[in-house]
Structures are given as structure tokens and as C-alpha cells.
Amino acid sequence: MKLVRVGDKLIDRDKIVRRIDEILEMRSNGQSQIDVAKYLEVDRTFISRLESLGEVVKGGKIALVGFPIGNRAELERVAFEEGVEFTYLLTEEERLDLVAQTDGATLVNNLLELISTLKNYDTIIFLASNFRSQFAESIIGKQVLTIEIGKSPITEDVEVDAEEIRTLIREIRRKEEKL
């Protein structure tokens, strides 16, 4: 227990941290500020200000998905630096291993789970062949920004310009800020 004296008050710092964790947990699980405020008996404006205090990225959630990517680590680094919330990039070898080492039913389930996950994102940047890009747009049904990295079938890793991806992510963020 970490106690802090403020004037004539003795404050339990750990209690504050636990309460903040509880607020953020409830909010990240989809509960409204009003519901959390009522449940925890605090002002809704307190929750709003708390979120603003810790806000790193404003705007919609972005996902980056692509295969076969030769410079996967570089793109993952750029995505992390730019605040992309979900990244799923595979090399050609990883893609082939995934298919070879997974039975059909599990592969379909994994694919459906990935699609379900992607539906939670406002913008999906999709790096793939022309053929797969068309499928992504029709299946996901959200704002899918496709970057065609080659004609289907692509059988080797493709190097994607990381700075082009960084610029695209920043443009998405700028567009969201104007809305």
C-alpha cells in the first residue's frame, strides 16, 4: 500500500490505480461511460477526462493484413510506431506452413475467426494479390484499402515500401481527425 498525504487527507495510491484499471477494463469491454460511471459511482466527465489524459491514438481502429510479405518485421515496426491496433502479416513460408500443418476444419475456423476480428476495425489495410484483394473487399464489407502487391498467384515474398504504408496510415488518421 502506497499512502500519500495531501493536506489533511491520507490517500491510498494503489486504490486509485485499481479503480482506474477497473474503469479502463469496463470501457475497453464496450461499456458506455454513463454505465461505468453509474456502476462505480463516479462522474461520467471524470471517465471522459481520464480517457483523454491517456489517449495515444485518436480515431478509428486500423488493422494491417498482408501476405506474402518479405519485410514483415519492418512493416510490423512501422505499424506499431503509427498506432495500428492489429497486424497480421505472413511470409510465403509461414503461409505455406500454416496451410500444410493445419487440417481443413481448423483452417476454416481460423479464417472465420480472423474475418470476425477484422470486422471490429474501422479501416483494414490489405496487402495481397489482385485476386485476394477482391475477396477481402467483398467478404469483410468495411473500409478495406487494398494495396495490390502483385498478380495472383504470388509464390514469393514481396517487399512492400514501409514508408508508403506509414504515409497511408497517417493519411487515414488525418482524415479521421477532420471528421
**Pick from 132, 160, 156, 166: nearest CA to 146:** 132
Say if strands 62-66 and 123-128 run parallel, antiparallel, or are unpaired. parallel
Residues 46 and 116: their CA atoms lie apart, in Å, by 33
Which residue carries 454505465 as its cell?
Answer: 35
What are the residues facing 89 on neighbouring strands? 66
> Is residue 149 a contact partner of residue 33, using CB atoms and an 8 Å limit?
no
- Which residue is it, cell 479464417? 111
- DSSP character for 75? H
- Whole-number pLDDT of residue 126: 94
E runs forming strands in 25-176: 62-66, 86-89, 123-128, 143-148
- Taking only the tens of pLDDT, the chain with its 179 residues reads 889 999 999 999 999 999 999 999 999 888 999 999 999 999 999 999 998 887 655 568 999 999 999 999 999 999 999 999 999 999 999 999 999 999 999 999 999 999 889 988 889 999 998 877 677 777 876 688 889 999 989 999 999 999 999 999 999 988 877 66
pLDDT of residue 55: 66
The amino acid occupying position 118 is L
What is the pLDDT at residue 57? 55
Q: How far is CA 149 from CA 29, 79, 117, in A?
A: 35, 18, 23
E strands, the chain, are: 3-6, 9-12, 62-66, 86-89, 123-128, 143-148
Q: What is the pLDDT of residues 25-48, one digit of tens each?
A: 999 888 999 999 999 999 999 999
Residue-range domains of the chain with CATH: 3-54 (1.10.10), 62-178 (3.40.50)
> Is the whole-model pTM more than 0.75?
no
The pLDDT value recorded for residue 142 is 61
